Structure 1
Amino acid sequence: MKTQLLLLPLMVFNILNAQQEGKNIIKTNVTAYAFRNLNITYERSINRTFSISLGFSTITNGDVPIIKKYFEDQVDNEFNDIQMSMTSLTIEPRIYLGKNYNNGFYFAPYYRYTKLKMDNMVYNFSYTDSNNVNREIPFNMSGDISANSFGLMLGAQWYIGKKKNWVLDWWIVGGHYGFSSGNVIGRPKSGMPLSAEDQENILEEVNGFDIPIIKYEVDADSKEVRVKIDGPWAGLRSGLSFGYRF
């Protein structure tokens, strides 16, 4: 009898452990590393058809080849040295359609928070002042944008290996849409203060930009120009993740 009582806690532990086995997955989107995107996702199974995952990704600070390519023939290479970093946090409930436990095709509504930072941008502002003198003022520009968006992803997940504890997760296609806000600040490279006439002409030029959809407000003082931005935010998701189930 005493032996049975001693074994009872061990039996309960083994049962609970068996129930929990295989409900946790740690994985990473291996295709994203080609874009300097370091990422990790934790997925927790709730039942056979439903799970919740939490993903974190960060793009380390560096060049932005796409922006370089777009601007190289349009703005005299002013943006060629631009540096960018980005961090995202994604909360994603998943609904699986397969017969096996959290396996097979799924659809996943999700929420994503994104923080984007850019620096080392240069903008050359020029105008003719009241004395008919051509003025050129190079600015160092930096900015940050925060975005909240909601989306839907379709994908498929498989367990592989002898013990079915390795995971392949194919993000077939996903897209999200939301809203963003941010600030861009420009300071004269020379460090010289901006005159009242400089500020007036800068405000006139920036307020004359024809930027569709995006709303912005601009103000300036002797030290800097500040642009506050509000607008839509959209993105696509795709890739192949590899992970471990435990």
Structure 2
Amino acid sequence: MKNILLAFAFLLSWTGVKAQEISNTEDALEKPNFVKLNLLTLVGGKISVEYERVLNKRFAVGAAVNLRPENSLPFKSSIMDIVDDSEINSLLDGMKSSSTAIIPEVKYYLSKKGYGQGFYLAPYVKYAKLNYSAPYTYDVSVDYQGQLVYDREETISLKGDLTTFTAGISAGINFKLKNNIFLDWRIIGPGYGTSKGSLSGKMTLNADEQAGLREQLGELKESLNDLPLKFKMDYTVHGNGADITLNKSPWASIRSGLSIAYKF
């Protein structure tokens, strides 16, 4: 009889625990959606909005959309200091850009809370298209019998785009602030992939101007190839301007963020 009572007490206890677990699961999945605004990217002039849907305790799926209106390169001075190459920096100095990116991902929550809370790992893929415009200044010089006749600068306006595709993994933590308000800190998210694009400039060029532009683009090609990512650039110069092609080249990026989130 004693054993039966103990077994009955255990059954009641187990049933209560399971009922509580089911109740907690139902409460967690009652509002499985998050919409998030990345506050960190606003510093660089980019709007990043993310949607996430919790599937169960461990897994969630989502996607982010990044939009950046045309403006000067974000953190241009820092980039130019890092590159530290006169040929590349002459192109970056007056460059303006805009971008659009779509980033689907899967999140795996490792914490006990789960259901969209706690520490997570998030494999992702990122497709981005960047539009560029830049004035490019080059030297035109003419020699005659070993003597410099004249030396001047010309500027050609270049426009084009760059398409990138990367894959990586993020690590972060999502925690509750109050009621349905959360804070998602994406600590780091390195990614690696490929890029390709083109630039062109329309301008009537005489033979001396073509020679000067061709020579300087050759130096730019060497500088790009010396970078760690080794961009593969080809170019043609003609009487109506220049065409520049960035062939399939390596590309790297890092995702990070501090997002305010609303759960519904």
TM-score, L = length of structure 1: 0.79
Is residue 141 of structure 2 the alignment partner of residue 123 of structure 1? no
SS of residue paired to 1:199:
helix
* Other-structure match for 1:225: 242
Instruction: Report which of the two has the higher share of helix.
Output: 2
SS of residue paired to 1:98:
coil
Identity %: 27
1:23 CA displacement: 1.0
Q: Output the CA distance in 1 between the equivalents of 2:244 and 2:197.
A: 8
Is residue 117 of structure 2 the alignment partner of residue 106 of structure 1? no
Is residue 98 of structure 2 the alignment partner of residue 85 of structure 1? yes
Q: Output the CA distance in 2 between the equivalents of 1:130 and 1:187.
A: 29
* Other-structure match for 2:171: 154
Q: Output the CA distance in 1 between the equivalents of 2:262 and 2:29.
A: 15
- Amino acid of the residue matched to residue 31 of structure 1? L
Q: Output the CA distance in 1 between the equivalents of 2:144 and 2:61.
A: 63
* Other-structure match for 1:207: 218
* Other-structure match for 1:141: 158
1:18 CA displacement: 7.5
* Other-structure match for 1:42: 51
1:31 CA displacement: 1.6
* Other-structure match for 2:199: 184
Cα contact 1:59–1:85 (8 A) shared by 2: yes
Cα contact 1:23–1:245 (8 A) shared by 2: yes
TM-score, L = length of structure 2: 0.74
Cα contact 1:68–1:79 (8 A) shared by 2: no
Q: Output the CA distance in 2 between the equivalents of 1:19 and 1:30.
A: 26
CA spacing shift, 1:114–1:78, aligned 2, 3 Å? closer
* Other-structure match for 1:234: 252
CA spacing shift, 1:199–1:39, aligned 2, 3 Å? same
How many residue pairs get aligned? The number is 224
Is residue 22 of structure 2 the alignment partner of residue 22 of structure 1? no
Q: Output the CA distance in 2 between the equivalents of 1:65 and 1:242.
A: 22
- Larger-Rg structure: 2
List alignment gaps of at least 5 residues for structure 1: 1-16
* Other-structure match for 1:61: 70
1:122 CA displacement: 2.9
- Amino acid of the residue matched to residue 166 of structure 2? S
CA RMSD of aligned residues (A): 2.8
1:184 CA displacement: 1.4
Q: Output the CA distance in 1 between the equivalents of 2:42 and 2:171.
A: 21
